[in-house]
Amino acid sequence: MAIGTFRGGIHPYDGKELSRHTRIRTVVPHSDIVVFPLKQHMGRPAVPVVAPGDPVLTGQRIAKADGEFSADLHASVSGVVTAIRDFHVAGGGTERSIIIRNDGRFSEIPYPEPRRFEELTDAVIIRAVKQAGIVGMGGAGLPSHIKLSPEHPEQIDYVIANCVECEPYMTSDYRRMVENPGKLINGLRIVLKVFPRARGILAIDEQLRDVIRELRSITRDDPRIYVKRVQTKYPQGSERQLIYAVTGRTLNGKMLPSDIGCIVHNVDTLVAVNQAVMLYEPLLTRLITVSGDCVAKPGNFRVRIGMSYDELIERAGGFVREPALILDGGTMTGRRIRDLHVPVTKMSSQIVALSRDRAEVMRETACSRCARCVEACPNHLVPIQLLRDAERQNEDAFITHNGLECCQCQSCSYICPSKLPLSLRITEMRESIVSRPEKAGDYSRRLFG
């Protein structure tokens, strides 16, 4: 079978060797204060349903969704709500957050007896996912029940489990597939139950041969689930590139995957779906890779949402040397963070601490028109042309040159020999246009209100 891929893309240093061999460690917050920002998803911030002074149990809902693209929020520790106030978050700035004093007992709300998903109706499954507050763990934070309820569920042909971690340093999905493949497969089966005509596809990086073998043997008897290999390349895990590699269908920036009969879910999301539907468990933990050459014991951690980053790094053995660069996310799409006293949210994915800031020493020079960016762009754009349009603030030219198709994968900035801020300028320009639906038309569809 041919290995699926797309044209373009890059091969950055992936650093996965640092963390891929250690088992997932479960850590619980020891500190008194656990922080739950109300906005851990795409839409509007959730509305608190607890007040300062209320006692809460692990798994209890503390905030309810406000609007369609918002999600419920649950306490991951037991204790007492002390305040609802602004708190620093990893994305920079502050968010209104519920602050809970952790009593250290982690007493849980009583869960009903586990159930079998085969007997459930679609509506029950979707409601269970919604009530568990599950959001897409790929980074955008779209509540998962929205993906499960497209306009025409019978028109969905493929449910793709995105097992491709193309982001450098990240290995949490790999560890998840090694350690609990059953939960992943079961999560996929639950989602397939909602889409009667769909086939389930596990799209896995060709290099992860052990996982491919294991998952193939598990799914051998399931006529609806297939394992497909995709090439090791960045950004192979990007939704559009993955759908193309696996199904041959193409998707442009105006469309949603459901328009072409595909649904893409992240590994961690499917596992959470499994827990929510079978065991009534809300989303309380998330897998986070802590890696980089400054971390004493790099690895993957099952972390309770609300635990602070510095406590997590402490559990990973702390820093062995002074980091020059700490990232929330990977080296391609991550964000630099300075203040480590921020909580883990549903959208956190990894922390990378590096002793050397490689990009810092690189000086910008004049463009030589080498066209490396054109070759690398996975969306087949001409980034250098878009940079010129953006520099001249020429919105019409930017739109004509399909600048709105950019998916912000950063490949152009990575590959540029002149170290031009291609992706930065293009993203700025694109965002300023997309925020005005009258100019951007269907491209604003992905903004969700």
Of 59, 168, 237, 299, which lies in the binding site for other proteins, with binding defined by CB under 8 A?
A: 168
Of 91, 139, 374, 445, which lies in the binding site for other proteins, with binding defined by CB under 8 A?
A: 374
Q: Tell me the one-letter amino acid at 179.
A: E
User: Under the criterion CB under 8 A, does residue 140 sit at the interface with other proteins?
Assistant: no
User: Under the criterion CB under 8 A, does residue 327 sit at the interface with other proteins?
Assistant: yes
Q: How far is residue 302's CA from residue 267's CA, in Å, rounded to a whole number? A: 14
Of 138, 253, 306, 323, which lies in the binding site for other proteins, with binding defined by CB under 8 A?
A: 253
Neighbours of 163 (CB within 10 A): 27
CB of 197 to other proteins, least distance (A): 23
- Taking Cα atoms as reference points, which of 54, 30, 49 lies closest to residue 133? 49
Structure-token match 């042309």, residue found: 385
Of 12, 55, 91, 104, which lies in the binding site for other proteins, with binding defined by CB under 8 A?
A: 12
352 Cβ contact list (under 8 Å, min separation 6): 15, 168, 169, 289, 291, 292, 325, 326, 327, 329, 330, 331, 334
Neighbours of 92 (CB within 10 A): 13
Of 77, 211, 381, 426, which lies in the binding site for other proteins, with binding defined by CB under 8 A?
A: 381
User: Under the criterion CB under 8 A, does residue 109 sit at the interface with other proteins?
Assistant: no
Cβ closest to other proteins, residue 253 vs residue 298: 253
CB of 195 to other proteins, least distance (A): 22
According to DSSP, the residues that pair with 343 across neighbouring strands are: 308
CB of 86 to other proteins, least distance (A): 23
Of residues 353 through 372, those in contact with other proteins by CB under 8 A are: 354, 357-360, 362, 365-372
The pair of structure tokens assigned to 191 is 């989602």
CB of 374 to other proteins, least distance (A): 5
Of residues 296 through 325, those in contact with other proteins by CB under 8 A are: 325
Of residues 22 through 81, those in contact with other proteins by CB under 8 A are: none
Q: Tell me the one-letter amino acid at 292.
A: G
Alpha-carbon distances, residue 166 vs 15, 243, 344, 356, 423 (angstroms)? 11, 14, 22, 22, 18
Q: How far is residue 229's CA from residue 314's CA, in Å, rounded to a whole number? A: 36
User: Under the criterion CB under 8 A, does residue 282 sit at the interface with other proteins?
Assistant: no
User: Under the criterion CB under 8 A, does residue 94 sit at the interface with other proteins?
Assistant: no
| Three-state secondary structure call for residue 220 | coil
Q: How far is residue 374's CA from residue 165's CA, in Å, rounded to a whole number? A: 24
Q: Tell me the one-letter amino acid at 37.
A: P
CB of 200 to other proteins, least distance (A): 23
Of residues 384 through 413, those in contact with other proteins by CB under 8 A are: 384-385, 401-402, 405, 410, 413
Cβ closest to other proteins, residue 5 vs residue 219: 5
| Three-state secondary structure call for residue 30 | coil
Count residues binding other proteins (CB under 8 A): 57
Q: Tell me the one-letter amino acid at 218.
A: I
**52 near 84, Cβ under 8 Å?**
yes
Alpha-carbon distances, residue 386 vs 42, 126, 257 (angstroms)? 27, 41, 26
Interface region with other proteins, contact rule CB under 8 A, candidates 37-45, 49-57, 114-122, 419-427:
419-427
According to DSSP, the residues that pair with 143 across neighbouring strands are: 135
Cβ closest to other proteins, residue 255 vs residue 279: 255
CB of 428 to other proteins, least distance (A): 10
User: Under the criterion CB under 8 A, does residue 426 sit at the interface with other proteins?
Assistant: no
Q: How far is residue 448's CA from residue 282's CA, in Å, rounded to a whole number? A: 24
Of 164, 225, 415, 440, which lies in the binding site for other proteins, with binding defined by CB under 8 A?
A: 415
The pair of structure tokens assigned to 399 is 């739109």
User: Under the criterion CB under 8 A, does residue 218 sit at the interface with other proteins?
Assistant: no
Of 36, 69, 195, 244, which lies in the binding site for other proteins, with binding defined by CB under 8 A?
A: 244
Write out the residues near other proteins by the rule CB under 8 A: 6, 10, 12-13, 168, 240-241, 244, 250-253, 255, 325, 327, 331-336, 354, 357-360, 362, 365-372, 374, 378-382, 384-385, 401-402, 405, 410, 413-419, 421, 423-424
